[in-house]
Structure 1
Amino acid sequence: MSIYSERNLGEFVLPLALKFGEHEISNRRMKLLEAVHHTGSISGAAKAIGMTYKAAWDAIDAINNRAAKAVVVSQHGGAGGGGAVLSEYGEELIAAFGKLEAMQQELTKLFERHQIEHLTHDLRSVLMKTSARNTFSGTIKSLTKGAVNSEVVLGLHGDDEITAIITNGSVENMELAVGKPAFAMIKASFIIVSPERMNSSARNQLCGVVERVTDGSVNAEVVIKLAGGNLVTAIITEGSTQSLGLKAGDKACAIIKASHVIIGVDN
Structure 2
Amino acid sequence: MATKKNRGKQRLQVHGALWLSMDGANVAGQGRIALLRAVAKHGSITQAAKAFGMSYKAAWDAIDTMNQRSRTPVVERVTGGRGGGSTLLTAYGQRLVERYAQVQAVHQRFLQLLEQDAMDLEQPFSMLKVLNMKTSARNQWLGEVTAVHSGAVNDEVELRLPGGQRLSAMVTRDSTGALGLKPQLPVIALVKSSAVLLAVDLETARVSAGNRLAGTVVRVTPGAVNAEVIVRTPDAAGVDGALEVVAVVPQTAVAELGLKPGAAVTALVKASDVVLAVVS
Instruction: State the TM-score, normalizing by the size of structure 1.
Output: 0.58
1:209 corresponds to which residue? Answer: 216
2:74 corresponds to which residue? Answer: none
Cα deviation for residue 72 of structure 1 reads 3.6
Does the alignment pair 1:145 with 2:150?
A: yes
2:273 corresponds to which residue? Answer: 260
Write the letter of the residue equivalent to 1:211.
Answer: V
Cα deviation for residue 124 of structure 1 reads 6.1
Distance in 2 between the 1:196 and 1:156 partners? 24
Alpha-carbon RMSD across the aligned residues, in angstroms, is: 3.0
Cα deviation for residue 195 of structure 1 reads 1.7
2:259 corresponds to which residue? Answer: 246
2:245 corresponds to which residue? Answer: 232
Higher strand share: 1
Q: 1:160 to 1:196 in 2, by over 3 A?
A: farther
Q: 1:195 to 1:4 in 2, by over 3 A?
A: farther
Distance in 1 between the 2:105 and 2:152 partners? 40
Write the letter of the residue equivalent to 1:157.
Answer: P
Query: Structure 1 stretches of 5 or more lacking a match?
Result: 19-26, 35-62, 75-86, 91-120
Distance in 2 between the 1:178 and 1:4 partners? 33
1:127 corresponds to which residue? Answer: 132
Task: Name the count of aligned residue pairs.
Answer: 173
Q: Deviations over 1:164-191 (max 9, x none)?
A: 0000000000111001100100000011
Query: Structure 2 stretches of 5 or more lacking a match?
Result: 1-97, 236-241
71, 77, 81: which one pairs with 2:120?
Answer: 71
1:12 corresponds to which residue? Answer: 106
Distance in 2 between the 1:232 and 1:224 partners? 5
Instruction: State the TM-score, normalizing by the size of structure 2.
Output: 0.55
Q: Deviations over 1:75-130 (max 9, x none)?
A: xxxxxxxxxxxx9xx9xxxxxxxxxxxxxxxxxxxxxxxxxxxxxx9586463211
Distance in 1 between the 2:174 and 2:201 partners? 36
Q: 1:244 to 1:141 in 2, by over 3 A?
A: same
SS in 2 for 1:71: coil
Write the letter of the residue equivalent to 2:102.
Answer: Y
SS in 2 for 1:73: coil
Does the alignment pair 1:180 with 2:185?
A: yes
Q: Deviations over 1:28-55 (max 9, x none)?
A: xx59x86xxxxxxxxxxxxxxxxxxxxx
